Amino acid sequence: MTALLILFATAIAVLFAGLTKNRQFLQPIALAGSLMALGATAYDLLGGNPNPWNDMYASMFQFTPFALAFSGVTLLSTVLIIGLSGWGFRNLNETLGDNYGLILFSLCGALCMFSFTNMTMLFLGIEILSIPLYVLAGSQRDNLSGNEAALKYFLMGAFATGILLFGIALVYGATASFDLETIASAIGDGRHSAGMLNAGILLIIIGLSFKVSAVPFHFWAPDVYTGSPNLVTAFMATVVKTAGFAAFYRLFSIGFAPAEDFWSLPITAIAALTMTVANVTAIFQTDFKRMMAYSSISHAGYLLLAVLAIGTTGSDRALLFYTLTYSLATICAFGAYIAVSEPNNDGSFSAFNGLSKKQPLLAAVLAIAMLSLAGIPPTTGFFGKYFLFTAAFAKYPWLIVLAVINSAISIYYYFKIIIAMYFTREENDYVVSIPSGVRWVVLAGLLLIALLTFIPGSVYALI
Amino acid sequence: MSLLLILIPLISSVFLLLARPGAVRTIALVTTLANFAVSAFACMGFVGDGSFNHEFRLPWLAEAGITFRLGMDGVSLLMVLLTNLLAPLIVLSSYGKNFDNEPRYYGLVMLMLAALNGVFMALDGLVFYIFYELALIPIYFICAIWGGQDRIRTTLKFFIYTFVGSLFMLVSLLYVYLQTSLPAGTLAEAGATMHSFAWEDLVQVQLAPGAANWVITGFFLAFAVKMPVFPFHTWQPDTYTAAPTGGTMLLSGIMLKMGIYGLIRWMVPLAPEAMHTMAPVFILLAVIGIVYASIIAVKQSDLKRLIAYSSIAHVGLIAAGAMAWNKAGMQGSLIQMLNHGINVVGLFFIADLIERRLGTRTLADMGGIAKSAPKFATLFMIIMLGSVAVPLTNGFPGEFLLLNGVWNYNMWLGIVSGLTIIFGAVYMLRAYGLAVFGEANEATARFEDVSTREFVVLGVIAALVMVLGFFPGMVLNLTDGSVNRILGAVQF
């Protein structure tokens, strides 16, 4: 709760500071605010605050360790993304303040999605998260594909919201409550109308699948990811995805757990489809950002395994660990991508040719990020996959075999980058320099990846 | 002690990867020699009753039952010795080449060394898996950066092939892991049972027959690709040919032993229930591989490819002997892993020396080297005879025991496997004859004899060929206790 208040205050402060001429203060303010929020979350999580204001707003927020840990993941991602922004947002002079403000407002929505105990709050959280993003996606006003991305994102998002809302209404109709605990006990007691409940759950699954871009509700994602400004894409791929899955998990583990027999089948199908379709499509991409879009869809498929594993000890931890490693690797990758593609205006794989000779550090970081996304030991991505797969293995062994085959397919496209950087002998004459923001962020990301490799227990034991 | 074997090359690798070009070769050589000294030191005070010596434990992820645990019984010690014995030779043999990014090359070799030592000493399922995969990353980079023609496509095929194989192993490991149950310790929630990746706990699991078949298939896929066993061998000749010689030596000398070691340490002990039904299939595949690869080797005109195919044949026999799961077969496979590692590294070095001097690997372009380079021809002959398994060379006791083991398992398979000796003699003598004897051509007449450094490498290998041929007992005694213990504990 403290973190939420700090973020909100910082967002407003940045918005007003953006009206003045002193733009150089915007990034430090946003960074300081999100770092303070991160500190407050860590303080709460480690037990410093015995009663973290859980009784406010009729207890519709509960900042449980689960919520705090996921807040930590998204706050950390945001800190790193804001760290990159001195470079990545440099073209957005007039609207810089708005950009930071919108990112922080969006993050407030994510925090609501981690802590809701009531479906009203879930809905509000999703909307608070999404609306700033529609604006951010189109924040480069003179960029045609950016406008397309924003419009597409807005239309699809609004559509999904409608479906989600309808689902929530049906569940309310079936169980007479918005409160997760009450819904669960109503389902458990059999005091509900089964048909209406199932229809509601199905619509909620579809709505959330739109939000987390799971197949077959993913069509908006590649265009939106490609068209949006790079850092906004990084934000969507990390914070938004984490928030979507944490909310998914929370809703189904508390509210709909007794109805597992019904929802496990559609989610299994979505998970299997998501992994396979996204991985196979990613093979054919030639543009880094589009490849990352499909990669992020395929990770959504793996993350659904955590939802399926609800009820198994450690499924929440697996989700936490996976989202953290995935976010770190993605942000590192985007940092390197921004440094390579923006000055040279080329985002294809061949833009990375010979990067290992020009910028060994950047190449090494990007290579490690790719290995981690592919889940190759000993990078943290492996541990993320390992925890997820172990959690779901007992219930869904064949789905895990499919997931394993898919991780093998993913090597092919992640390694294209490594091949371009290290093995390709055709050079390009691109100049790649590392701005200091990028350097610090990728080094911090690398350090965290290394730490998670050697002491995976540190995060795993948080919740 | 166990930890040192991993830490020394690991630290050296980090240092080399960050270093500027300079005395990197010396650093690499000193590292490998230090590591060899440590592994030799580990032999002293070694208790050969099959228990794990020099154990090292560090809780890694206690909640999930994962411990960073290393230790060596006779089998592991033999593999560690092989690894650290070959490493200085491999480094020395790369000396004569000029790489365009030397520190990185040696840094990756050192990383590879750390991972290989880890594979052979790991006593925790997940730690084994991680080292098994870790070994793949440096060798992939070595082959793809410094390799020859068509390196990118070939090495990506190699990487995906082996990675897919090991992922199936991961699934099998996970399955067995989830069947273990330990009383909940202080760390777990009350009432919950804990799982464990410790080797002893995994071995104790009783699998249902159906599940055991799947589990063993997962393991077999991983190890069969690595060795490689027919029909999973298609990546091997291309990769061996495209890789730089140092990489080929690492792959053939040490890395393929990971597969056979995995059979003995992990596959059969974890799922002995399935061996009754699956072992005949596996052994049959191995024997088919022996004959198939031998026939192709006879037809090869490229020296490096010939050695690559001969390696498939030899490894097929080793795998068949190990899976026959009797004393002779297992002892034979262990001693032959050591011998094959030594011989194949020698042969690849010879092929590389010829290629460096003549610029070709085609047998038809050679001939008459014996006149211009007598020392070279002699050393080549000794190593070649070891590979053919002539009595009193190191290949003989190994092949003898292996054939004995396969024969005990099934007479007909033993007879067919015996063809390996005949075929081996045919293709090795043919290659030797074409390369060394006959009329010299313009290039081979000016063939320089071995330099001092090359002489040291080949001399050490030739000496090992003879010493191990005269005194195979040294190796057999080292592993005897462990083999008895493994065979006693795991029966089917």
The string of pLDDT tens digits covering residues B272-303 is 888 888 888 999 999 999 999 999 998 888 88
Pairing type for strands B66-72 and B53-61 reads antiparallel
Decide if pLDDT at B444 tops 80: no
Decide if A456 and B159 are in contact by the 8 Å CB cutoff.
no
Please compute the mean of the pLDDT values over residues A43-48 and round it to a whole number.
82
d(CA A319, CA A307): 8
Domain ranges for chain A: 2-460
Question: For residue B483, which of B343, B287, B341, B324 has the smallest C-alpha distance?
Answer: B324
Inter-residue contact B222 to B262 (CB < 8 Å) = yes
Inter-residue contact B294 to B427 (CB < 8 Å) = yes
Q: Which residue has the tokens 């480094």?
A: B91
Question: Count of H helices and E strands in chain A?
Answer: 20, 0
Please compute the mean of the pLDDT values over residues B108-119 and round it to a whole number.
92
Residue B188: the pLDDT is 46
The string of pLDDT tens digits covering residues A317-336 is 899 999 999 999 999 999 88
With H, G, I as helix, E, B as strand and everything else as coil, classify residue B198: strand
- Position B490, amino acid: V
Band of pLDDT at residue B184, cut at 50, 70 and 90: low
Residue A306: the pLDDT is 92
Domain ranges for chain B: 1-174+233-258, 277-492
Band of pLDDT at residue A90, cut at 50, 70 and 90: low
- Asked if B211 has any chain A CB less than 8 Å from its own CB, the reply is no
Alpha helices in B100-150 (DSSP H): 102-121, 125-134, 136-146
The percentage of residues in chain A with a pLDDT greater than 70, rounded to a whole number, is 97
**Close Cβ partners of A58 (under 8 Å, ≥ 6 residues apart):** none
| Highest mean pLDDT (candidates A70-74, A138-142, A439-443, B188-192) | A70-74
Decide if A422 and B141 are in contact by the 8 Å CB cutoff.
yes
The percentage of residues in chain B with a pLDDT greater than 90, rounded to a whole number, is 19
- Please give the C-alpha separations between residue A447 and each of A79, A329, A330, A337, A362, in angstroms, as whole numbers: 15, 11, 14, 19, 14
Decide if A424 and B152 are in contact by the 8 Å CB cutoff.
yes
Long-range contacts of residues A141-145, Cβ cutoff 8 Å, at least 24 apart: A143/A227, A143/A229, A145/A223, A145/A226, A145/A227
Residue B191: the pLDDT is 47
Chain A residues close to B63, C-beta within 8 Å: 314, 457, 460-461
Decide if pLDDT at A252 tops 90: yes
Chain B residues close to A400, C-beta within 8 Å: 171, 174
Question: For residue B384, which of B342, B353, B356 has the smallest C-alpha distance?
Answer: B342
The tokens for B404 are 């004995």
Decide if pLDDT at B96 tops 80: no
CA angle A376, B62, A396 (to 5 degrees): 55
Residue A45: the pLDDT is 85
Decide if B171 and A400 are in contact by the 8 Å CB cutoff.
yes
Please compute the mean of the pLDDT values over residues B40-65 and round it to a whole number.
82
Decide if pLDDT at B222 tops 60: yes
Residue B2: the pLDDT is 83
What is the count of residue pairs from A and B with beta carbons less than 8 Å apart? 74
With H, G, I as helix, E, B as strand and everything else as coil, classify residue B58: strand
Please compute the mean of the pLDDT values over residues B7-26 and round it to a whole number.
84
The per-residue pLDDT of chain B, averaged, comes to 86
Decide if pLDDT at B138 tops 60: yes
The string of pLDDT tens digits covering residues A423-433 is 887 777 788 88
With H, G, I as helix, E, B as strand and everything else as coil, classify residue A95: coil
Residue A249: the pLDDT is 93
Decide if pLDDT at B190 tops 50: no
Chain B residues close to A408, C-beta within 8 Å: 160, 163-164, 167
d(CA A361, CA A64): 39
Residue B192: the pLDDT is 56
d(CA A419, CA A48): 47
Band of pLDDT at residue B181, cut at 50, 70 and 90: confident
d(CA A403, CA B353): 45
Residues in chain A, total: 463
Dihedral sign, CA of B444, B449, B455, B461?
Answer: positive
Selecting from B61, B133, B141 the residue whose C-beta is nearest the C-beta of A456 gives B61
- Asked if A256 has any chain B CB less than 8 Å from its own CB, the reply is no
Chain A residues close to B191, C-beta within 8 Å: none
Selecting from B61, B134, B170 the residue whose C-beta is nearest the C-beta of A457 gives B61
Decide if A405 and B61 are in contact by the 8 Å CB cutoff.
no
Decide if pLDDT at B189 tops 60: no
Please compute the mean of the pLDDT values over residues A37-48 and round it to a whole number.
86
**Close Cβ partners of B379 (under 8 Å, ≥ 6 residues apart):** B350, B450, B455, B458, B459, B461, B462
Question: For residue B238, which of B178, B302, B284, B165 has the smallest C-alpha distance?
Answer: B302
Decide if pLDDT at A393 tops 60: yes
Least confident of B75-84, B176-185, B290-299: B176-185
The string of pLDDT tens digits covering residues B366-399 is 878 888 888 888 899 999 998 888 888 888 888 8
Please compute the mean of the pLDDT values over residues A237-266 and round it to a whole number.
91
Decide if pLDDT at A89 tops 70: no
Residue A268: the pLDDT is 93
**Would you call the peptide bond into B231 cis, given omega within 30 degrees of 0 as the criterion?**
yes
Residue B187: the pLDDT is 47
Band of pLDDT at residue A215, cut at 50, 70 and 90: confident
Least confident of A62-76, A89-103, A403-417, B51-65: A89-103
Selecting from A314, A404, A411 the residue whose C-beta is nearest the C-beta of B171 gives A404
Residues 387-416 of A with CB under 8 A from B: 387, 389-390, 393-394, 397, 400-401, 404-405, 407-408, 411-412, 415
The string of pLDDT tens digits covering residues A174-194 is 988 899 988 998 888 877 788
The string of pLDDT tens digits covering residues B386-443 is 888 888 888 888 888 999 999 888 888 888 888 888 888 899 888 888 888 877 777 7
Selecting from A376, A407, A457 the residue whose C-beta is nearest the C-beta of B62 gives A457
Please compute the mean of the pLDDT values over residues B17-46 and round it to a whole number.
84
- Asked if B175 has any chain A CB less than 8 Å from its own CB, the reply is yes
- Asked if A422 has any chain B CB less than 8 Å from its own CB, the reply is yes
Residue A280: the pLDDT is 92
Q: Which residue has the tokens 């077969």?
A: B329
**Would you call the peptide bond into A216 cis, given omega within 30 degrees of 0 as the criterion?**
yes
- Please give the C-alpha separations between residue B268 and each of B230, B258, B271, B485, B490, in angstroms, as whole numbers: 19, 14, 5, 14, 8
CA angle A392, A396, A397 (to 5 degrees): 100
The string of pLDDT tens digits covering residues B323-369 is 888 888 899 999 999 999 999 999 999 988 888 888 888 888 887 88
For A404, the closest chain B residue by CA position comes to B167
DSSP 8-state symbol, A50:
S
Residue A325: the pLDDT is 93
Band of pLDDT at residue A88, cut at 50, 70 and 90: low
